[in-house]
Amino acid sequence: MKSLVLAEKPSVAREIARVLGCREQHKHYLEGPNYIVTWALGHLIELKMPEHYNPAYKTWRLEDLPIIPEKMGLNVIRQTSHQFRAIETLAKRPDIKNCIIATDAGREGELVARWILQKIGWKKPLLRLWISSQTDQAIRDGFQHLKPGKQFERLYESAVCRAEADWLIGLNVTRALTTKYNEPLSAGRVQTPTLAMMIEREKEIQSFQPVPYWTIHANVGSVAAVWERNGERRIFSKQLAEQLYEKLKNKQATVISVERKTKKEPQPLPYDLTELQRDANKRFGFSAKKTLSILQRLYEQHKLVTYPRTDSRYLTTDMENTMLERLEAMKSGYVDEIAPLLKNKGKVVARRVFDNEKVTDHHAIIPTEERLDVGKLSADERKLYDLIARRFLALFYPACEYETVHIVFHIEGEAFIARETRVVNAGFRRVLEKQEEKMTFPTFTKGQTVSVMLEKKEALTEPPLRYSEADLLSQMEKYGLGTPATRADIIERLVETETVERKNGRFYPTPKGKQLIELVNEELKSPQLTARWEKELEAIARGNGDPKTFLQNIRKQTERLVAEIKQSERTYRAHNLTGSMCPECGSFLKERSTKEGRLLVCSNMACRFRKRKDPKLSNRRCPQCKKRMEIHEGKVGVYFQCRPCNVIEKAEEQKKAKLGHKERALLKKYSAENDSFGTSLGDLLKQVLEKKE
């Protein structure tokens, strides 16, 4: 008898199969003497869409809302149904004794596997592989300590509640807004309050009125002191600033007090996903999505870091005996930093990092015992790994010791304060940042009289900055919006739906986003609502919440939200209407910015007309001016055009075999999507490839 192992992705399945000795390869699975390893392709099963309950729901109508099925059903995703059928066939084999869930060890991974097994009608015993890294040793240990499937029933219930809540709220509110205002308007329990935060910040910026203020500085040699009264350094009265300056200039200062304190800064804890995304954004400008993507490769492909989607920054006590092995694995890339640590047998100085109570499903992100080969990493992978590695190494170094100096000078009874910090022992900061030599702070004694150079400066108060990705992640974490695993997707969703746009690393609400936040329900804008939901979902996962009550409340809320939208008297005005008319229905065209470039789409939602506004440039050069030619599709097939020279060349002429990668990709895309041209583009592509060969 054999165990059926269900992984989340083919790449992970292959690694598990290799470790388990499954060498017999098949299209949909790998087989060995004791195990059959198969895989999902992400989600193979989804909640049924409205049209699966009633074909009439395929057409969006406001009068059909809210759509609240009595019992939510599951549907096999058509595009990946072949893999589901393969798993279903394997599950029915008589030599299968049990199933081992080996999907990602988290709420979403549990849902991926359980929905597949539910759709199959699985009745045999169920076990769970729960590991935090993809190294061979971790996989072997995990299979030696498999957990009973029942232990994760509550986690599965929490995942179902989250999925159904997002379906009920997101789908109904999105359909209601879209049909009410004849514009694709997307809303949801996490994306809407996140958008609301950005809109609120934009209002603060737009309503901000700069106010002039003055500061007075006293330079005592290399020491800079600033005038201060009741903790305020700014003077908002020009007259007062000038009076003070005139009163104090050319006067000497007396040292009133000199206070020195020695302090210790503790080692920072290792990264959780959100803080790593924040730091990667600040240091390298990575989006949250990009950081997670790179991190996933370091985890799955290179096996150099532990499980990415964690919200904990602590380690379990039983991990202490693995520290030396992890350092040994890293030393090829950090020779100088690790050499002294190996002499100390890899002893962790920051003992507070080991705390079982503060580790939830997964511990912090740290390097694994896999040998580091920096040469195999891309530039971005090296950058991210270095952040994780150095934060981990900081645990083995002592705390940073520094001295603070606080000096108060008096000039004609007015206080000037100088503050300085000097590092005494860099400790862990040696591995986190370059240490710069600072000038020695001059020695002052109480009662000493010194000469000063006075300077008056004028400035303006500044508005708050728009959110960067790091700022937004901090706010989402603060209010409990989403989870570490979902926040990146939420941010990307807001960009894709054109409610915000990225400019120079910061988020700007669009006219569409500003209008949407005025139309959406007040209740949905509140981060407190979603934070409460996340707490309830977490309670369900821990066995302290009631899934039935949670979903009953979600259904009631859905009815209330849709009713509010139906009764609303507000209006929406499309900001991106052009003067051009749709050639198919005569409605005005809208201009949209997408990943494919600028598109013109019909404002009539029943009409599917769309065309590219910006022509795609090809690798083909104009024979006259040598500039890159535009690539177009038409009734005669694909052709190239140079507008300044009025040169047109068909793709099937002029040595088609010289088409570049972009042309080939476009030809493939057109042949897949459009066969209404005079020449079959599929045949054309075939001819091109044959000529190339």
Residue positions annotated with a catalytic role:
307
Asked whether 536 and 545 are in contact (CB, 8 A), the reply is: yes
Question: What's the gap between Cα 670 and its chain centre?
Answer: 32
Name the strand (E) or helix (H) holding 402: strand 400-411
**Conformation bin of residue 220: beta by default, left when phi > 0, alpha when psi is -120 to 50:** beta
In which residue are the tokens 């870091």 written?
305
Task: Note the Cα 341 to chain centre separation in Å.
Answer: 34
User: Both tokens of residue 442?
Assistant: 């001059």
Cα distance between residue 592 and residue 30, in whole Å: 45
DSSP codes joined into one string, 13-51: HHHHHHHHT--EE-SSEEE-SSEEEEE--S-SEEEPPHH
DSSP labels, 331-384: TTT-HHHHHHHHHTTT--S-GGGB-GGG--SS--B-B-SSPP-GGGS-HHHHHH
Say how many C-beta atoms besides its own lie within 10 A of residue 17's C-beta: 24
Q: Name the residue among 231, 227, 230, 220 with its Cα closest to residue 244.
A: 227
The whole-angstrom separation of Cα 300 and Cα 303 is 5
Q: Cα separation of 159 and 165, whole Å?
A: 10
In this structure, the dihedral spanned by the alpha carbons of residues 83, 88, 89 and 94, taken in order and rounded to 10 degrees, is 150
Amino acid at residue number 308: P
Residue linked to tokens 């599965």:
156
Cα end-to-end span (Å), the chain: 50
| Cβ neighbours, 10 Å, residue 184 | 15
Residue 452 to residues 251, 259, 409, Cα–Cα distance (Å)? 7, 20, 10
Which value, in Å, is the radius of gyration of the alpha carbons in the chain?
31
